[in-house]
Amino acid sequence: MTTTPTATRTAVRTAQPSVHTPGAATRTPLWRLTAVELRKMADTRSGKWLLAVIGLLAVVAVGVLMFTGEAADRDFSAFFQITLLPVSILLPVLAILTVTSEWSQRTALTTFTLVPRRGRIAAAKVLAAVAITVAAVAACLVTAAVGNAISGLLDSEAGGWSITAGAVGYAVLFELVSVMMGLAFGALLMNSATAIVLYFVLPTAWAILGSMISALKTPAEWLDTAATSEPLLSDAMTSGAWARLGASVALWVALPALLGLLRLNRSEVK
Return the pLDDT at 154.
81
* Annotated domain spans of the chain: 29-192
Return the pLDDT at 139.
94
Q: Please state the pTM of the whole predicted model.
A: 0.83
| Reduced 3-state DSSP string for 123-136 | HHHHHHHHHHHHHH
Cα–Cα distances in angstroms (integers) from residue 214 to residues 19, 64, 179, 206, in the given order:
70, 37, 30, 13
pLDDT by 10s per residue, the chain, length 270: 454 554 444 444 444 444 444 444 467 888 888 888 888 888 778 888 889 999 999 999 999 988 887 777 788 989 999 999 999 999 999 999 988 887 766 666 677 677 778 888 888 999 999 999 999 999 999 999 999 898 888 877 777 888 888 899 999 999 999 999 999 999 999 888 999 999 999 988 988 888 888 888 888 889 888 889 988 988 778 899 999 999 999 999 999 999 999 988 877 766
